[in-house]
Amino acid sequence: MTKPAELSEALSVAAGEAFATLGLDAGLGAMRRSDRPDLADFQCNGAMAAAKKLGKNPREIADAIVAALRASDIVASADVAGPGFINVKLSAAALSSRAQQVADDARAGAASVASPRRVVIDFGGWNVAKEMHIGHLRSTVIGDSLQRLFRFLGDSVTSDVHLGDWGLQMGQLINEVKLEQPDLPYFDAGFTGPYPETSPVTMDDLGRLYPLASGKSKADEARRNEDRQATQELQSGRPGYRALWRHFCDVTRVGLERECASLGVTFNLWKGESDAEPFIPALVEDLKARGIAELDAGAWIVRVARESDKKEMPPIILVNRDGAIGYHGSDLGTIIDRKQSIDPQLTLYVVDQRQALHFEQVFRASDRAGLMPESTLEHLGFGTVNGADGKPYKTRDGGVLKLHEFIAQADATALSRMTEAELGADVSEAERADIAHKVAVAAIKFSDLSNVRTTNYIFDLDRFVSFEGKTGPYLLYAAVRIKSLARRAAGEGVTPGPISVELDAERALVLQFDAFNDALRGAYDKRMPHILCDHAYLLAQAFSSFYAAAPVLIESDPAKKASRLALALATLKQLEIVLGLIGIAIPERM
Ligand code: ARG
């Protein structure tokens, strides 16, 4: 086995080998960061578990392991404490050489995955004609962080925004526009075109018409039938409806692209539910022929329940009784589309936890139909964003907060915080606005991603825009401070030199560098960006203790000065990378 680059790993391997020599499981050698950094860097509790198994005294086993560890050149000291805890301190030479590796590596010590995969990440998922609101913000922010992480680790990622552009809402809107503007050519079945190039509705119109139409549709059965009819006609290609629907999509997309640019989020594909449509007829025929699709009260369904199910698992509806394709059908069609164009080995759906059942049904149906195996399809759910009252976040008047208003609010709060903290006082107004926006985006993304993905959280703009505490702005500020140190050093002609780890604060900083891979792997395997946030925060904190204990530019010993500068630059590199994976852009100065 080649020697692992990470000290934590190398140490676990060394301890594991010592356990193996005693005829024990090498896994018992797992080392973790010590809770008592004053006593040790790492600790291992394996001797206690081993002793239980063998009916031996744990201290005896620990003594044997410690003796073996002392022979390792990365270990400065190894001791047994209490009933059989193994405490290890690493050698300064090992820490120095690890720090040097991180400093010299463009990826700041980050490994890549052994076998890269083709991965599709389905996120965003906004709906045409509906204002983008804070619920879709979570999907966007989490999905973007995951696409950055998976790409960074070497996978080939295709992100798809998967717009909601094909359901009953489209029929509802068509009918609502018809009521307001009945003379438009889109509704004249005899019209032969061409249809007008400019949209008869703006995004504001759509934002107003959407709730109006869906309210009427819910309240009135006759209207609902008309809406179903319009949806079915749209889907089967009625030219006027298609032309009007195109306008809905285009108008919505302009707004979405603006929000995405402002958040720094990109997608490889701007596809939607409608793009699944061409794949459905053949799928339905095939599933009918194989007896997988069944006719049930006029609809084509696929049963997905299993005997082992503990909860009710309703069938999916492939084609409803009006011949229209709903949410299930479009997700299945999309799976075929992706299979044919990308052939992904893994597909991640970053969608509200409340859709868990939907995805379970779709994945089972995909498996049953032989489209893509269930094991390659994963729903990554997330909790809701709540207001101080613990209920889903709303505006003051109880409405759904529009995303661009929300961003504008965050920008304004960031700007006033900067003024309070006397930041950005000596730059132009345009640059200050740009910095404030970066602070706002950092606040929004970090506050979202630093929570465990599956939990709900309370959004508190004032707290999240603070430059103190575990916040995005604190981390931005930490990175900007190192950037400014780097500039001053360059100005004074100080260059980084060989790293020699001496002080406790330096040791702690390097141990944090060393933990980067674990954080990356944890976030990647669990699809949990909060692990990246934790790493970024601990790194910034370790740097701040280091910088307090080991000032750089006022140090008189040139070798120490150069070593400390190298540590600072390595911190900056790792911090920039991890903030980049969270989707946070760092200004040059503040
Ligand atoms: N548009 C959907 C919604 O707002 C989310 C789409 C998620 N992606 C998917 N493939 N179903 O609920």
Q: Where are the domains of the chain?
A: 7-90, 168-263, 403-581
Whether pLDDT at 1 is above 50: no
Sequence-distant (6+) residues with CB within 8 A of 112 are 153, 154
**pLDDT tens digits along 59-86:** 999 999 999 999 999 999 999 999 999 9
Ligand 1 centroid – CA 162 distance (Å): 7
Residue 122's pLDDT is what?
98
Nearest residue (CA) to ligand 1, atom 11: 331
Nearest residue (CA) to ligand 1, atom 6: 125
Count of other CB atoms within 10 angstroms of residue 321? 13
Band the pLDDT of 404: cuts 50, 70, 90: confident
Q: Which atom of ligand 1 is nearest to the CA of 358?
A: 11
Nearest residue (CA) to ligand 1, atom 12: 125
Ligand 1 centroid – CA 251 distance (Å): 19
Angle at Cα 327 formed by Cα 325 and Cα 328, nearest 5°? 85
Q: How far is it, in rounded angstroms, from Cα 302 to Cα 375?
A: 19
Band the pLDDT of 455: cuts 50, 70, 90: very high
What amino acid occupies position 230? A
Find the mean pLDDT for residues 148-161.
98
Count of other CB atoms within 10 angstroms of residue 437? 21
Sequence-distant (6+) residues with CB within 8 A of 65 are 15, 18, 19, 22, 29, 44, 46, 47, 78, 86
Band the pLDDT of 396: cuts 50, 70, 90: low
**pLDDT tens digits along 198-226:** 999 999 899 899 999 999 999 999 999 99
Cis bond leading into 281, ω under 30°? no
Nearest residue (CA) to ligand 1, atom 8: 125
Residue 402's pLDDT is what?
82
Band the pLDDT of 395: cuts 50, 70, 90: low
Whether pLDDT at 92 is above 50: yes
**pLDDT tens digits along 532-571:** 999 999 999 999 999 999 999 999 999 999 999 999 999 9
Residue 37's pLDDT is what?
86
Nearest residue (CA) to ligand 1, atom 3: 125
Q: Which secondary-structure segment (H or E) carries 564?
A: helix 558-582
Q: Which of 120, 162, 335, 338 to mutate to test the pocket of ligand 1 (most atoms within 8 A of CB)?
A: 162
Ligand 1 centroid – CA 124 distance (Å): 8
Q: What is the widest separation between alpha-carbon atoms in the chain?
A: 93
CATH class of the structural domain 403-581: mainly alpha
Reported pTM: 0.95
Q: Is the CB of 124 under 6 A from ligand 1?
A: no
Q: Which atom of ligand 1 is nearest to the CA of 352?
A: 12
Residue 509's pLDDT is what?
98
Nearest residue (CA) to ligand 1, atom 7: 125
Q: Is the CB of 349 under 6 A from ligand 1?
A: yes
Residue 556's pLDDT is what?
95
**pLDDT tens digits along 323-369:** 888 899 999 999 999 999 999 999 999 999 999 999 999 999 999 99
Ligand 1 centroid – CA 338 distance (Å): 16
Q: Which secondary-structure segment (H or E) carries 88?
A: strand 85-90
For the chain, the 3-state helix, strand and coil shares in percent, each to the nearest 5, are: 55, 10, 35
**pLDDT tens digits along 505-533:** 999 999 999 999 999 999 999 999 999 99
- H helical segments located in 220-238: 221-235
Whether pLDDT at 487 is above 90: yes
Nearest residue (CA) to ligand 1, atom 2: 125
> Do the two domains 7-90 and 403-581 of this chain adopt the same fold?
no
Whether pLDDT at 473 is above 60: yes
Angle at Cα 47 formed by Cα 41 and Cα 53, nearest 5°? 155
Residue 352's pLDDT is what?
93
Band the pLDDT of 440: cuts 50, 70, 90: very high
* CATH code of the domain made up of 7-90: 3.30.1360.70
Q: Is the CB of 272 under 6 A from ligand 1?
A: no
